[in-house]
Structure 1
Amino acid sequence: MVPHLITALTGPINELEQRILESMPAIERWFRLEWMEHTPPFYTSVDVRNAGFKLAPVDTNLYPGGFNNLTDAMLPLAVQAAMAAIEKICPEAKNLLLIPEKHTRNTFYLANVATLVRIFHQAGLNVRLGTLDETITAPTPLTLADGSTLVVEPLIRKSGRLMLKDFDPCTILLNNDLSGGIPNILKNLEQQYLLPPLHAGWAVRRKSQHFAAYEEVAKKFAKLLGMDPWLLNPMYEQCGSVDFAEGTGIECVQSHADALLTKIRRKYKDYGINEKPFVIVKADNGTYGMGIMTVRDAKELDALNRRTKNKMSVVKDGQQVNEVIIQEGVPTYERVNGGVAEPVVYMVDRYVVGGFYRVHADRGIDENLNAPGASFVPLAFAEPASLARPGQKPGASAPNRFYMYGVVARLAMLAASYELERTDPNAEEREGVPA
């Protein structure tokens, strides 16, 4: 399946696909050398946008949900990657404690948790679920949409270790992005591996730090291929001390939006792109598609209505927005079943394990698709997305298109590894320098 693209089969993206396919040995060697120097996040999902003239990641999630949207044909890849990841971290691992989000009534999310349990069980681990919800004081069954159940259990902290009753794990996997802050029960664990690390959570992490690292990665990669890094990199600006509810700090957002729109127009003129540029203003931390708006003219920020202010003021877990990233908008010209679509690529360790299309029939090409009403169409093809077919015409082959998406997603994952290294509060201790 190759999704329908409005853009013609000639143009920058097809030239980029051709260049990527021709450079595949050099690209894979480059990634291999990077992974010798840097540790990939344990698992990652990346939202990619294909504008026909530009292909770029617009969001990188280090606590991905949605594993239930991968096809069964992709699960063996995820199991193999999980085996490789666990082997590196704790080769003798027998027990894995998985800590999901607290919103246990969301059956779609529970299906994701069930898929993760299945993946790690098939990777040879005993998997049990612990919850940060302090109202759960005994093993509690949760019913999924298909009638199956998951059991979540209260966490026990004992002598610097986190466990469940009669279950002492070597490895703890968070599928909770810590938007509401870092609970004390997770701090200062001894002789246990907590994945991802606490500073990967939204209590600490910032999108602007990620895209600063991505800009660096994109420049290195573009130099390897002899191309303009803008074709892969969304430009951005950042504003702190913003309060949409009170209307303070908006002038910073407005001036940066105006400057960014000017830069985009200049690039569009250079490439002969006849499009109206836009920027996306979103919370610098947080997920779930909250705190996001499209701005096509900086003057739009002069008179935000109450509903927009309220939407932009709070993200997940009621966290107030006071920092925003203003990101170059990348339109998506992909269509699946007539709806606007964007690919979401999933990785475990450094391996692409699959993905799906996020489709929204009621959203435009310049809007956020991660919103109520979105549907998910698995990437369905016989062979893994990571294997390309050199020699085929650009745009004609699903494996080639998805190989290209996998390359861009891995660039974002590599940027996340740079980002986590730079924000690691224990980095100096690890290098033998007193903190």
Structure 2
Amino acid sequence: MRIHEVSELKTLERSVEQNTESQRKAVLDILKDVKEKGDKALFQYTEKFDGVPLDTLEVTNKEIDEAVASLDPSMVDIISEAARNIREYHEKQKHESWFFTREDGTLLGQKITPLDSVGVYVPGGTAAYPSSVLMGVIPAAVAGVKEIVLVSPPGKDGKLPAAVLTAASIAGVKRMFKIGGAQAIGALAYGTETVPKTDKIVGPGNIYVALAKREVFGVCDIDMIAGPSEIAVLADETANPRFIAADLLSQAEHDPRSAVFLVTTSAELADKVAAEVEAQLSRLPRKDIAIQAIKDYGAIYLVKSLSEGADVINKIAPEHLEIMTKDPISLLGKIKHAGAIFLGEYSSEPVGDYFAGSNHVLPTSGTARFSSPLNVDDFTKKSSVIRYSEQAIKENGRKISAFARLEGLEAHARAIDLRLEDK
């Protein structure tokens, strides 16, 4: 990893997704087919893209039971414990409806209602991501969503991975479908003969999934358009260079476009971390991916103080931030922009990915400047509640109609005036 001065700092100049017009056209064609042909299109695209001719799209109870039975019991216990931790964390995020009254008899408030239905997309094909199941499903369940539907591309055996089905069963998912890609997003957005239409779609995916989510936004809601993963470490001379290198590589192995940063006050630490990254890279199974990420999007920045380091972090606005300093909590107040903040040398980023309880669906590509991790609020909606009294309309009616006429909306004004005349 190269060492830079702060003056060389560049914020992430990566769009959330890098797509071509041909990719967007392909997605639009798929969505159109799913909307018009329903299940028939889903079967056709699953055979075309996943190489699997399916007899049925929906996962059966037998498949779920077999999946849970096939998994090592100790792994089932670990997934169950992770699920409990995630549920406990998200229970703290719940909000209640509220109301208040004024002396003139006016009642105002906010009614919180869970969404009716949510679709959770879980990447698949060559890999299994049970953690993505837990992170998408549990906050929706905590919010009170009644219908949670899971979709994921099948493997060559025509099934979903045992770990994914087990996590979904533990999280309480009742309906799961063996479909992936843009066609799965279309099914969740429009509904088919088999797949129910949902009000919101959450979960990461490839470029086609990301583009499809963008296209259906408005038909339903989506969580975000996720980009490549990022990690930044803010460290002083007390930090362990082996830990930092390992954590940087934990994100570099995700994608050739993953971004990894070290911001430090110590030139000695910077040199040691750079050497450790090289040493650990040689032993990494996905080293080719990590090497490309570090070459294109990896950097070490030297700063004069930790306060300056916090400013650099805020400019980067990373998805993941680790603070490895003598007193990491003292810096927490200086951090404005970060998706998840890990404090201390034992708070490695994978702790948050799998087990601590916080959500690992986080804002990327600098969007931590204005957005948050996936949370319970993402699965609820808020309605304003207004009850105006006769006294209040007498006292404020003329002001309201005057405001309406200021905007040239005479019918608005007359709706109020009629009530004043009636009294």
TM-score (normalised: structure 2): 0.36
TM normalised by structure 1 equals 0.35
Larger Rg: 2
